[in-house]
Amino acid sequence: MHGRLSSILGRSPQNGTSNQGETAASPDWSPVVDIAENDGGYLLKVEIPGVREDAVSVRLEGRSLTVQGERKPELGNDVRYLRMERAYGTFSRVFQLPENVNSESVEARFKYGVLQIHIAKSEASKPRVIEIKGET
């Protein structure tokens, strides 16, 4: 299970490397992501509070799903920050999707600072119940 999730998650946010040991481009920060799976598909939840919807892009190229964007600090002439602990700047996450996904079914929704990306599995990979017929 861990190996499967590691292959879905294109790189590790802790060390900035891909599964193949390649060093990824260094973004300013990296949002945390939850990945869930059920019989119908996969759900990625990307936490990006403070990021406007129009500052985020989701791109699918082959089996690579890329989420990138930018969080800008709210600066004004009358504001003086005493401490800034939240990360600002650009971010980018790349996920290598398994072969059993339907690339035409990717849907993204943005709600309460969480980007939810649903990717359905292909019909051929979904489990199906086989009817057992009795003798007649």
Domains and CATH numbers, the chain: 2-74+86-125 (2.60.40.790)
Q: What is the pTM of this model?
A: 0.71
3-class secondary structure, 48: coil
The C-alpha torsion from 44 through 51 and 59 to 46, rounded to 10°, is -10
Cα 120 vs. chain centroid, distance in angstroms? 14
Per-residue pLDDT of the chain (136 residues; tens, 9 = 90+): 445 544 555 544 444 444 444 344 567 999 999 999 998 999 999 999 999 999 999 999 989 999 999 999 888 888 888 898 999 999 999 999 999 999 899 999 999 999 999 999 987 756 678 788 888 6
Helix (H, G, I), strand (E, B) or coil at 19: coil
Pairwise CA distance, residues 124 & 126, whole Å: 6
With H, G, I as helix, E, B as strand and everything else as coil, classify residue 53. helix
To which H or E segment does residue 8 belong? helix 2-8
Q: How far apart are CA 86 and CA 107, in angstroms?
A: 28
